[in-house]
Structure 1
């Protein structure tokens, strides 16, 4: 950044805090701290200062939507993380014989047979494998389509084929 761009961004830091206040409640519900929201906004403000052209209009009119979009993207990405469901399980302490209740994360505790998963992944086409990987990472079908250069419908079809293969494999294995 040039000195003029740095000065422009420094003069408009208040804009970031103003916009962050609008997103604060929604972000905190998802576990995003206010400082993280401000950090995303400050990076967007610097980006706006770099790409700003005075002949287009006022800086605030250019920077405000850029900052708001960055904060909104952060909230969306956090909201699309895969949910891990927990359940309460009773277990007995082997040494003392005491009964306890423990919360277990189903995602990590699920009994996935490595052979099933390996066979399933081997049966997928390279594109289906990428689609499944990105879906499990929490990306939406539209985001996956943009990354792969295909439509959302193509991603949906790829997931549908992968699901059919998974169900067929489960039926075959009993």
Structure 2
């Protein structure tokens, strides 16, 4: 930056703060806190100083205000867009229920919370009878993992490498996705 541009920036730095208050910042909204907006505003001020042309008839203050306000508003729209698409794990699923997404994840990680070991093994055995080959071996491996066996221990039982067990389980999981009661159980 030239000295003239640096002088313009330093003399008009207060514009950034005043425009942040006009545009509005929101604590707790990703990217919309004061510090975030101040950085965006300073970048916009530098951009205004670099592109300012006095021969176009506007004062630097007028031009800089427009550039800063536009960048802050663009950022606000983008932050709003992102915020609306975020899913917070601790937020409630609906106003009637006290359950959150975190509760669902916790439950899906521990199938014994809603199925006994006997019920789970029965479901896996029933599903195993519908498949053959690698998928069948993968279902058997899922059952063994649920019973506490490690991949290495299961590999020793089948006389294969441990990475084969991971591949078998992966294939079984993808095939079992269509079998609704087992869908969540495959990810334990």
Q: Give TM-score scaled by structure 2 length.
A: 0.45
If you compute each CA radius of gyration, which structure gives the higher value, 1 or 2?
A: 2
Structure showing the higher strand proportion among its residues: 1
